[in-house]
């Protein structure tokens, strides 16, 4: 199901180290803050699917709030890090660690099994994201929430133009299906927000909120990214800008929060 070779995900330590960098940490924290307002009360009564959850940033946060979490990932190494961190945090008992591919959702879980489904930075690695979107809708309960995080095409255009000064690449990224990931040097899919919203609608998921993640931080001098006070101020401003459509449109990532529709998905999305 992946665009990329599985080998890309074998270096789980490299990915875990990236998540501790200012950019990696901010990506996770912003997505978390946007999600929090949609979390149901009475966490003990609700279950979460963290699909492609990797090293478990979201899973651990939710488990600490007493949600029951199933973390699914195709990388045993990623799951190993998540399990180790969960044990160190004392929440591993509330997390089920499942080594499986995203395409196996219908085989693994019954319909309407979860109150929350997270799918962050996974669809860009899949050959057919629409199939996974339909499976996410299948396992969501009525009125449940899905949070999806994908690479934003406009953000990749600006990154090439501003950060690398490669204006030819910036122009090409206006219509490219994939771009080269800077961490692993492999191709990953990019999305236009309107297109992924339409794809989710076809799967039976109605977008109720949309945010931009990392509007400007990628273009800052690293000297502005050090220190707790700077991090706090950056996050505050990023949250404000990411909630405004004109700024969200050019962010590096797009986060969409959707609810399951009562209308059956189109046959093409199944």
Per residue in 159-205, pLDDT tens?
999 988 899 999 999 999 999 988 888 899 999 999 999 999 999 99
Say if CB 31 and CB 255 are below 8 A apart: yes
Looking at residue 243, its pLDDT comes to 98
Per-residue pLDDT for 230 more than 90?
no
- Total residues belonging to the chain: 270
* CA count, 13 A, side-chain hemisphere, 185: 3
Looking at residue 21, its pLDDT comes to 84
Residue 192 CA to residue 154 CA, distance in Å, equals 8
Report which of residues 229 and 60 the model is more confident about: 60
Dihedral sign, CA of 160, 162, 166, 171?
A: positive
Per-residue pLDDT for 269 more than 80?
no
For 236-266, write each residue's pLDDT tens digit.
999 999 999 999 999 999 999 999 876 555 5
Looking at residue 106, its pLDDT comes to 93
Say if CB 218 and CB 252 are below 8 A apart: yes
Residue 239 CA to residue 31 CA, distance in Å, equals 9
Looking at residue 186, its pLDDT comes to 87
Per-residue pLDDT for 215 more than 70?
yes
Say if CB 52 and CB 126 are below 8 A apart: no
Residue 267 CA to residue 270 CA, distance in Å, equals 6
Counting Cβ atoms within 10 Å, is residue 132 exposed (0-12), middle (13-18) or buried (19+)? buried
For 169-182, write each residue's pLDDT tens digit.
999 999 999 999 88
Say if CB 132 and CB 162 are below 8 A apart: no
What percent of the chain lies above the pLDDT cut of 90? 77
End-to-end alpha carbon distance in the chain: 15
| For the chain, domain boundaries | 6-151+190-262
Neighbouring CB atoms inside 10 A of 260's CB total: 23
Looking at residue 264, its pLDDT comes to 52
* Mean pLDDT along residues 128-157: 96
CATH hierarchy code of domain 6-151+190-262: 3.40.50.150
In terms of Cα–Cα distance, which of 73, 49, 54 is closest to 13? 54
β-strands 68-73, 205-213: how paired? unpaired
Residue 192 CA to residue 198 CA, distance in Å, equals 10
For 118, 143, 256, the CA distances from 122, given in Å and listed in that order, are: 10, 23, 13
β-strands 140-151, 178-180: how paired? unpaired
For 48-78, write each residue's pLDDT tens digit.
999 999 999 999 999 999 999 999 999 999 9
Say if CB 28 and CB 113 are below 8 A apart: no
């Amino acid at each position: 199901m992946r665009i990329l070779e599985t080998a890309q995900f074998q270096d789980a330590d490299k990915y875990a180290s990236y998540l501790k960098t200012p950019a990696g940490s901010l990506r996770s924290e912003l997505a978390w803050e946007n999600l929090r307002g949609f979390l149901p009360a009475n966490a003990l009564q609700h279950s979460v699917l963290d699909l492609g959850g990797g090293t478990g940033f979201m899973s651990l946060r939710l488990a600490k709030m007493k949600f029951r979490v199933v973390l699914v990932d195709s990388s045993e190494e990623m799951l190993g890090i998540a399990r180790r961190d969960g044990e160190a945090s004392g929440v591993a008992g509330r997390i089920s660690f499942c080594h499986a591919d995203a395409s196996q959702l219908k085989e693994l879980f019954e319909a309407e099994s979860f109150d929350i489904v997270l799918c962050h930075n996974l669809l860009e690695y899949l050959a057919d994201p629409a199939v996974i979107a339909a499976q996410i809708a299948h396992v969501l309960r009525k009125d449940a929430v899905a949070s999806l995080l994908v690479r934003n095409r406009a953000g990749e255009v600006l990154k090439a133009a501003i950060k690398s000064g490669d204006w030819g690449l910036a122009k090409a990224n206006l219509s490219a299906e994939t771009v080269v990931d800077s961490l692993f040097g492999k191709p990953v899919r990019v999305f236009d927000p309107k297109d992924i919203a339409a794809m989710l609608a076809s799967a039976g998921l109605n977008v109720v909120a949309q945010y931009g993640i990392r509007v400007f931080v990628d273009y800052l001098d690293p000297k502005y990214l050090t220190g707790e006070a700077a991090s706090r101020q950056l996050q505050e401003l990023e949250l404000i800008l990411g909630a405004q459509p004109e700024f969200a449109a050019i962010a590096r990532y797009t986060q969409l929060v959707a609810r399951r529709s009562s209308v059956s998905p189109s046959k093409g999305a199944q």
